Structure 1
Amino acid sequence: MWQSLQGERICLTPIQLEHAPELFKIWSNQKVTEFMNIDSFCDEKQAREMIAFLQNLAKEQKALRYTIFHKEQAKIIGSCGFNQIDTHNQHVEIGYEIDEVFWGQGYGSEVVQQLVHYGFVSLDMVRVSAKVEPANKASIHLLEKNHFQYEGTLRKVEKSKGMFVDLCMYARIKYE
């Protein structure tokens, strides 16, 4: 059911265990994981365990994570995907993280555009949303630039790194 997605400069491929060494390097960077709900990884085994967990969610069709490949450099530069898939209500929640070396170069927009298109067209979703911590200004800018609308702040809604955090809700609706 899940297919690779092709952007202009990136390819999104369903996450695989062999991606663990490169993803470990990204997931172990504290700047990358600052606003993720995981601590920075200390061991490649953690990356393999995370990938196995994500693959199980995909088998259950509850979530889908992609590895982001830079086409020209043939290099893994991050991961992204659908953190939650609700087929009954035709809603998906997206998430993404990109290697710090590639920040500010438009790769995030390309990732979001691919996920939104796939969500609306191939998965026939009506709503694509993203939750972001208020301090994550770069992600908020990325979502707004890609026509997501701010819907409000959910106060102390999720536990991240042992603390409850506020999350801003952003969404795009298919027919808007």
Structure 2
Amino acid sequence: MEKYPLFETERLVLRQITMENVDFLYELYTSDDVLKYFGMSPIQSKDVVVSMVENYEKQLDLGGPMRFAIVEKQTDKMIGTCGFHGISKAYKRCEIGYDLIPDQWGKGIMGEALSPLLNYLFMDKGMNRIGAVIVPYNKASSRVVEKLGFKQEGLLRDYILQGDHAYDAYMYSLLKKEWLE
């Protein structure tokens, strides 16, 4: 059985999400600010979050997507998540996703968290291409991936449905050869 790796950066630890994180995730995924461009409606109950955490474990056993807790080293407090999904093993590609509590926005946290994840995906998981789908209004998220070397490829029209509203989204990608430059 595969295990979640543990990543450490200057300020952060990325580790497996556990049942101890249910309250945090419920708060995160019911926040209008966090979900504004996320492409999902607010979670309706903590039972849904429990199922999400159980599913992360099941997916790991199947070689599927992974979602990491982003934890501040100094306080040992969880402040967000990041991970990958939409895996195509045959084409060696996947997409990343991430979120952060609003009081941590604008501090360079997400770029710091994504860097070891990208390295893991390219070097350990054998990915050749990593994508990110971002709504045009989410300029901060676009800046995060652009600083990491992602290139904007095009606009996906009405790609994300949230409630009754459809959003366009930019497709970004980063190739292994670009990451290694």
When the two structures are superposed, what TM-score results if normalisation uses the length of structure 1? Answer: 0.92
Contact 1:58 1:65 in 2 (8 A): no
Could you tell me how far apart the structure 2 residues matched to 1:47 and 1:14 are?
15
3-state DSSP class of the match of 1:152?
strand
Distance 1:161 1:57, change over 3 A: farther
- Residue in 2 that maps onto 1:125: 127
- Residue in 1 that maps onto 2:144: 142
Matched, 1:116 2:104: no
| Alignment gaps of 5+ in structure 2 | none
Query: 1:60: Cα distance to partner?
Result: 2.3
- Residue in 1 that maps onto 2:170: 168
Could you tell me how far apart the structure 2 residues matched to 1:41 and 1:158 are?
17
Contact 1:11 1:68 in 2 (8 A): yes
Contact 1:149 1:170 in 2 (8 A): yes
- Residue in 2 that maps onto 1:43: 45
Work out the number of aligned pairs and report it: 176
Could you tell me how far apart the structure 1 residues matched to 2:155 and 2:115 are?
23
- One-letter amino acid of the counterpart of residue 128, structure 2: V
Distance 1:162 1:16, change over 3 A: farther
- Residue in 2 that maps onto 1:53: 55
3-state DSSP class of the match of 2:40?
coil
Contact 1:23 1:76 in 2 (8 A): no
3-state DSSP class of the match of 2:71?
strand
3-state DSSP class of the match of 1:115?
helix
- Runs of 4+ with >4 A deviation: none
When the two structures are superposed, what TM-score results if normalisation uses the length of structure 2? Answer: 0.89
| Alignment gaps of 5+ in structure 1 | none
Matched, 1:75 2:71: no
